[in-house]
Structure 1
């Protein structure tokens, strides 16, 4: 079906997010498929300017820092029919009133998943060769290590990688790991055994995932049911010097239990997220040789924002043509999404 028209659209997000994600080329591409409200970024729906813009808007192109689309905002936007989000999670601004009104929602979560998956695969491979630790030691010693005397625990041949949750990111990690000589396990209570095998992984229980993996990579969204999911028992079950990678949310892990295990030298960790972000300056993980902490950089940054913008433009073009969203967010799936 193709009933293409040019919907009236406006940007709704923090101004610095708009500047970062939607450069001149992206704005020009948006303007080719919609009548974009010029020189306006809505970061507060309660102002007179916002109410004037919202009066005629059919589509909101949202991003980080978008205010909640609550009942008052929706009342000011009687023609609003769709939201195209240029980032991942829509939890911060899509309210129950949006679903009740029948507003269609699209997200760029699929585009944002790729750099997170790339980061994860890089860290899996680097941790296998103990690159980060050995680089730190090399900087101090200025001497080559005894590489012929390294244990069989160093390297990536035949290592077992456990994926906790076949989320959008988790699935991309599985896909990107296929060329490597690795054994991949998966725990996800919402994925049946046949689906797991179709992904090319072996489905296991969560205890077996932790006990049987050299690396466990966490891709579980932070929901009430997953807060503290990776607790003391699972961390204790990890193999000696196994690696725990977290690019999901810090609160999915029991950080105190992880800290104890890492300080004791039992486990290693790569953390792109912590609880809180940022850790206090005197937190022991900062000085722990077995832990690498990065500043929540796995998701889209720099030129990768262009991928988010491209997806948003494509989604708006599909919707304007009457073809619907390729990356629609469904209300019934929200219980399982970040």
Structure 2
């Protein structure tokens, strides 16, 4: 009589609040159909659990925000570890060189997390061209309606030019969602060719040309040494008067002092979900400027949107346990040029 193959042992490694939000009982029950996992066993810091039993037979880590770095010392405690399924976006915080040296398989839910970021971006683009923020502020203050065309000549979303910096997962999703609108779409990405850009629905241009020719510019590049302050004072000055900069990527892509000077002058507008630093000083004018919409890094998956990440991670676990390849693998080479 044939024996039933042993299911691989899995372990949660993430912040407790994230585990509770991402993997409620029904999600754990589905995971348990493919792997052995103890819903009560959670690692937030390997250094704080030196006596944690049974790590030597862990084959699969299910990680998310708050996962401790998987360095050589940690991996030494898990000699059978073969794969990491990340129920979040970037794996850069915890997947170290030691993971690649071990030859671990790595998966991410970045594609699932890209959806709400793209949706936020599209809303920002549409509201920016319609001057919703400024009109709402004026209406709230004066309780009066005026001829908005006189105040904002040419405003609206018909035949406006929107530029995306970076063809990341989010950037590509934004292009997809913007396709039905009457926009001219420009794209700047040094790793892309013209044919690929056309297939994505955009025209590939150099960054300076994009900045100078767009009504709205949205950032979707990764935070790398070569993208630090990619938009400096010179490049911000290229934006046309009245243009809007949208940043849902990383605050380090923009010179914060130069941006603050530009928006403080009233020359351009900004929608900022990320800043440098992540929480600005209380004295920052970006909190109160009427031409700036500042949100506290909420574009990514929150609330009910987390379910999309949960499903993505569970499906990757199921693929691994069935002996199939990941649908959303992460490679060392791709990670070097991505978020």
User: What TM bracket, shorter-length normalisation?
Assistant: over 0.9
Tell me by how many angstroms 1:212 deviates: 0.4
C-alpha contact 1:10 1:53 (8 A) present in aligned 2: no
What is the CA–CA distance in structure 2 between the aligned matches of 1:13 and 1:154, rounded to whole Å?
46
What is the CA–CA distance in structure 1 between the aligned matches of 2:303 and 2:6, rounded to whole Å?
32
* SS of 2:133 mapped into structure 1: helix
The alpha-carbon distance between structure 1 residues 285 and 38, as it changes in their structure 2 partners (threshold 3 A), is closer
Q: How many pairs were matched up?
A: 336
2:204 is matched with which residue?
203
The alpha-carbon distance between structure 1 residues 159 and 248, as it changes in their structure 2 partners (threshold 3 A), is same
If asked which structure has higher relative contact order (CA below 8 Å, sep 6+), I would say 1
C-alpha contact 1:115 1:299 (8 A) present in aligned 2: yes
Deviation string 1:214-260 (CA, Å, 9 cap, x unpaired) is 00000111111111011111100000010000000111101111111
* SS of 1:220 mapped into structure 2: coil
1:314 aligns with 2:302: no
1:169 aligns with 2:166: no
What is the CA–CA distance in structure 2 between the aligned matches of 1:152 and 1:202, rounded to whole Å?
26
What is the CA–CA distance in structure 1 between the aligned matches of 2:72 and 2:233, rounded to whole Å?
42
The alpha-carbon distance between structure 1 residues 49 and 18, as it changes in their structure 2 partners (threshold 3 A), is farther
Tell me by how many angstroms 1:290 deviates: 1.0
What is the CA–CA distance in structure 2 between the aligned matches of 1:137 and 1:31, rounded to whole Å?
55
1:16 is matched with which residue?
17
What is the CA–CA distance in structure 2 between the aligned matches of 1:48 and 1:258, rounded to whole Å?
45
Deviation string 1:255-289 (CA, Å, 9 cap, x unpaired) is 11111111111110000001112100011111211
What is the CA–CA distance in structure 2 between the aligned matches of 1:213 and 1:148, rounded to whole Å?
20
C-alpha contact 1:112 1:299 (8 A) present in aligned 2: yes
Deviation string 1:84-111 (CA, Å, 9 cap, x unpaired) is 0000000111011111111100000000
1:142 is matched with which residue?
143
Query: 132-141 or 300-309, which moves further after superposition?
Result: 132-141
Q: TM-score under structure 1 normalisation?
A: 0.96
1:272 is matched with which residue?
273
The alpha-carbon distance between structure 1 residues 113 and 50, as it changes in their structure 2 partners (threshold 3 A), is farther
1:112 aligns with 2:113: yes
What is the CA–CA distance in structure 1 between the aligned matches of 2:123 and 2:49, rounded to whole Å?
48
Unaligned runs of 5+ in 2: none
1:127 is matched with which residue?
128
1:192 aligns with 2:193: yes
1:84 is matched with which residue?
85
1:101 is matched with which residue?
102
C-alpha contact 1:5 1:321 (8 A) present in aligned 2: no
Deviation string 1:148-189 (CA, Å, 9 cap, x unpaired) is 535443100000000000001000000000000000000000
CA RMSD between the two structures: 1.4
What is the CA–CA distance in structure 2 between the aligned matches of 1:7 and 1:331, rounded to whole Å?
24
Tell me by how many angstroms 1:50 deviates: 6.2
C-alpha contact 2:133 2:291 (8 A) present in aligned 1: no
Tell me by how many angstroms 1:49 deviates: 6.2
Counterparts of 1:174-323 in structure 2, within 5 Å, are 174-323=175-324
Counterparts of 1:30-41 in structure 2, within 5 Å, are 30-41=31-42
What is the CA–CA distance in structure 2 between the aligned matches of 1:225 and 1:7, rounded to whole Å?
40
* SS of 2:58 mapped into structure 1: coil
Unaligned runs of 5+ in 1: none
C-alpha contact 1:231 1:253 (8 A) present in aligned 2: yes
What is the CA–CA distance in structure 2 between the aligned matches of 1:316 and 1:218, rounded to whole Å?
32
